[in-house]
Amino acid sequence: MADIIQLLPDHVANQIAAGEVVQRPASVVKELLENAIDAKSTSITLIVKDAGKTLIQVIDDGVGMSQTDARLSFERHATSKIKSAEDLFQLNTKGFRGEALASIAAIAHVEMSTKQELDEVGTQIKIEGSKIVSQEVTVTPKGTSLSVKNLFFNIPARRNFLKSDQVELRHILDEFHRVAMAHPQIHFALYHNNNELFNLPESNLRQRIVHIFGNKTNEKLVPVIEETEVVNINGFVCKPEFAKKSRGEQFFFVNNRFIKSPYLHHAVVSAFEGLIKDGNFPSYFLYLEVNPSSIDINIHPTKTEIKFDDEHTLYAILRSSVKHSLGQFNVAPILDFDRDDTLDTPYNYQQKQIDTPTIEVDANFNPFAEEMDDQPKMNKNNATSFSSSRPIKKDNSWESLYIGLESDKDFQHNFSSLEVESSEVTGSLFDDEEKEHTGTTYQLHRKYIVTTIKSGMVIIDQQRAHQRVLYEQFLKNITIKEAVSQQLLFPLTLNFSPQDIVLLKELRESLEHTGFAFTNFENEMVEISGIPMNITESEVGILLDQLLSDFQDGIPESGFSQSDMLAKTLCKTIATKTGEVLNLVAQEALVNSLFACTEPTISPFNKPTYVTMTVEEIDKKFI
């Protein structure tokens, strides 16, 4: 039998590697930005067109490459980061496998211009699908400029797999944020379709976070600092009152590399136990510095998962550090017997001198003046009389308490006019109003509404039923564009991150059809002057946060899908919840509204809204 195992050609092997390394344009952005950082750059510019499908260009001012290095950089497993297997356990760089450029060049048109500082001219290389088109001398500034055009041009199936421009751009922004936050000492800029989205100057860690997520983020941050032999922790967590329903702003960095770790995430969440509601998630930006030999970062192609040698110790240190920070800054109550008393003193008053209290004496005050007024007065017959308008002074004999009552008409009472409370037994535990109103519905365990029909009875889930009613109402308002809005006396101002503002602008027209009225959109602020009729002012912020969470992966391009998603978010947020008490009028109104819907049997999320039980089924229970 002939031999059947053979070596794959380089261009096929590169495309297979590209399937692991390059999943979407954001993967290319991550690899190119990390290469620029490894090149010791102080300024990095990212230029993107059509969410990376047409162009991804990264320009840096790093050390650059020689002509030979520029050519070798596109070969498989060619790298300057490691020289032996032992180097894999002492990594201090972003990339090390040497697969990124080779994989990218296999599925795109790549053009690279690079020059070292001491060289007079640089090198320009053009590659299309792993084939070198040209390599020539060029005039270029110090550093490297690498352009990736027409991604997946030779793999149509992979290109068709890409999502809309908005979804792909959001993934690019996520990768940009992760890299930019890990290196605040580097200047970053991002342009999309010739529009500047970010321009992040060199700064410290706190300023970098604020520049990315908005100025309002500054007041939310609580510092976390801990130094141990195992790990050094630095960063911030957000105060419990700013917890969100989505997992958006949660970042772990290990040795300046972004990672995902459900185990460490649980450590942070457990530190917030009792401080945030169920279903909410805290935001955090935590930077961990560990010995490179104690971790393995080569267990996943994207290098976002890390294996730690001692996870249990790391878990305990991280949890206690976050909990200590929340207590130290009076976010959470603490019990610390070794606490320094000076911590209770406001910082502004620590250096001030203590003022000696002064004593003020009223020289005209006579403590016996009132007592002298209370002395009994003598009448003409030398008889002593007491005034009934002032309280009687205490006497030793109990008879003196009744002196003056017999002759004083003010104290005479006609006891016949007193009304005595009736002791009649009503025999009912209910108010008259409830006794007179005999409704056809009954609320069971603050969750279900029970009502009767001809064949038996119906048990309705009040939350799902209200979701169905609101869903069809909002969908109708969005479609016919005739929603009723209640105007606010004072406009409501809410703050969002720049990315969320862009998303709200795209949803603005649909939101206005549901009853919202927006008067102003700025970089980080939204001003609302009108809200839908069945929404309270306190629910607006919760509703918009839920809306942004649901649309986090992008707005559907289809108009109906967008309206359907928007209506589902609105009804889910403001519908009557399980546990709310409904009076008889509200119960009957909900039942009537449900059975007036087009599809009353299921909720907008394909869950049954009610079940029926016939009399025959009930009779069988008693057999």
Q: What is the pLDDT of residue 137?
A: 92
Q: What are the extents of the domains in the chain? A: 10-200, 212-335, 444-611
What Å distances lie between residue 92 and 79, 96, 146, 310, CA to CA?
14, 10, 23, 20
Is-same-fold flag (10-200; 212-335)? Answer: no
What are the tens digits of pLDDT across the range 433-483? Answer: 433 344 478 888 888 999 888 888 899 999 999 999 988 888 888 877 777
- In which band, very low, low, confident or very high, does the pLDDT at 42 lie, cut at 50, 70 and 90? very high
Q: What's the token pair of residue 269?
A: 């969440």
For the residues 112-138, what does the mean pLDDT come to? 90
**Domain boundaries 10-200, corresponding CATH code:** 3.30.565.10
Higher pLDDT, 552 or 204: 204
Check whether 486 has a pLDDT greater than 70: yes
Check whether 48 has a pLDDT greater than 90: yes
Q: What's the token pair of residue 509?
A: 């027209």
Question: Does CATH number 3.30.930.10 belong to domain 444-611?
Answer: no
Check whether 234 has a pLDDT greater than 90: yes
Check whether 325 has a pLDDT greater than 80: yes
One of 3.90.1150.200, 3.40.50.1000, 2.160.20.10, 3.30.230.10 is the CATH number of 212-335, namely: 3.30.230.10
What are the tens digits of pLDDT across the range 405-429? Answer: 555 455 455 555 555 555 555 444 4
- In which band, very low, low, confident or very high, does the pLDDT at 145 lie, cut at 50, 70 and 90? very high
Least confident of 2-11, 127-136, 525-534, 585-594: 2-11
Q: What is the pLDDT of residue 100?
A: 79
Counting residues of the chain whose pLDDT is more than 90, the rounded percentage is 19
Higher pLDDT, 85 or 569: 569
Q: How many CA atoms lie within 13 A of 544 on its CB side?
A: 29
Token pair 């290990």: residue = 254
Token pair 């109708």: residue = 476
**Which residues, 6+ apart, have CB-to-CB distance to 290 below 8 Å?**
230, 231, 232, 254, 255, 308, 314
For 584, list phi and psi in degrees, rounded to 5: -65, -35
What are the tens digits of pLDDT across the range 254-294? Answer: 888 888 888 888 999 999 888 888 778 888 999 999 888 77
DSSP letter for each residue of 38-84 = HTT-SEEEEEEEGGGTSEEEEEE-S----HHHHHHTTSTT--SS-SS
Q: What is the pLDDT of residue 427?
A: 47
Higher pLDDT, 18 or 576: 576
